[in-house]
Structure 1
Amino acid sequence: MGFFKLIFTWWNRQTIGTFIYTLFTGKFVGYDEFGNKYYSNSKGKRWVIYKNNVESSKIPPEWHLWMHFLTKNKPTENVNKFLWQKKYEENLTGTIKATNQK
């Protein structure tokens, strides 16, 4: 079952095409607190391989900046955290943990 899941479903992790592309052209850049792995290649393309289900809100702001070419610095190099910064939390809309504002 896992093999067919890898081939045909992109929402569970990565497809076989992404796996092969990452294997041959990807250079590992780093990972975040959710376990997502970030890659780039020599042509400048950047991508993420999610640890679990594909959920774009699981990309922390520091990695979002890097993914969208808004900074050249990898988040692992930029470790300045301020006291007022909260721990990043994914979008909880549609989950049991979502807040119910009435």
Structure 2
Amino acid sequence: MSFLHRLTTGFAVSEVGTDRFGNTYYESKRDWLNYGRKRRYVMYAKAPDPTMVPPEWHCWLHHVTDQPLSEQKRYPWQMEHEPNRTGTALAYRPPGHDHAGGQRQVAAGDYEAWTPGG
């Protein structure tokens, strides 16, 4: 966070909380323009990456809930939040993808590839 931002945040916004990734969440003290609700935003702890906002805080940021939800795991089937891996080496690549071997399963006998003008 820049020095100027730190200096001016106390006047216009109040800090609501911090998540387990170190992101800090703010809410404006007054209603935002003519929307009739307060502006909410996040200051990322590291590089700005929207996929690092946990679902509990995502609900609050988008005015789905009035208060942030509890960050505790509530059910055994709930998995820990993971950032979006698209475009990285850890991205999901289905069988047959060029970067996953490039060999797909043989299609059914009625498959016929489309050719332009044919």
TM superposition score normalised by structure 1: 0.71
Note if 1:65 corresponds to 2:59: yes
User: Could you list the runs of 5+ residues in structure 1 that have no partner in the other structure?
Assistant: 1-13
Superposed counterparts of 1:8-27, under 5 Å = 14=1, 18-27=5-14
Specify the alignment match of 1:11 in structure 2.
Answer: none
Q: Percent identity?
A: 33
Specify the alignment match of 1:30 in structure 2.
Answer: 17
CA distance in 2, matches of 1:71, 1:25: 22
Q: How far 1:96 moved relative to its partner?
A: 2.2
CA distance in 2, matches of 1:25, 1:15: 16
Relative to structure 1, the CA distance from residue 98 to residue 61 in structure 2 (aligned partners, 3 Å threshold; closer, same or farther) is same
Specify the alignment match of 1:9 in structure 2.
Answer: none
Superposed counterparts of 1:41-56, under 5 Å = 41-43=28-30, 44-56=38-50
Note if 1:81 corresponds to 2:68: no
Partner deviation per Cα, 1:20-68 (whole Å, 9 max, x = no partner): 4424322111111211010112121111000111111111111010001
CA distance in 1, matches of 2:8, 2:94: 44
TM superposition score normalised by structure 2: 0.63
CA distance in 2, matches of 1:97, 1:51: 22
Specify the alignment match of 1:39 in structure 2.
Answer: 26
Relative to structure 1, the CA distance from residue 75 to residue 86 in structure 2 (aligned partners, 3 Å threshold; closer, same or farther) is same
More helix by share: 1
User: Could you list the runs of 5+ residues in structure 2 that have no partner in the other structure?
Assistant: 31-37, 96-118
More strand by share: 2
Aligned length: 88
**CA contact 2:16–2:26 (8 Å) conserved in 1:** yes
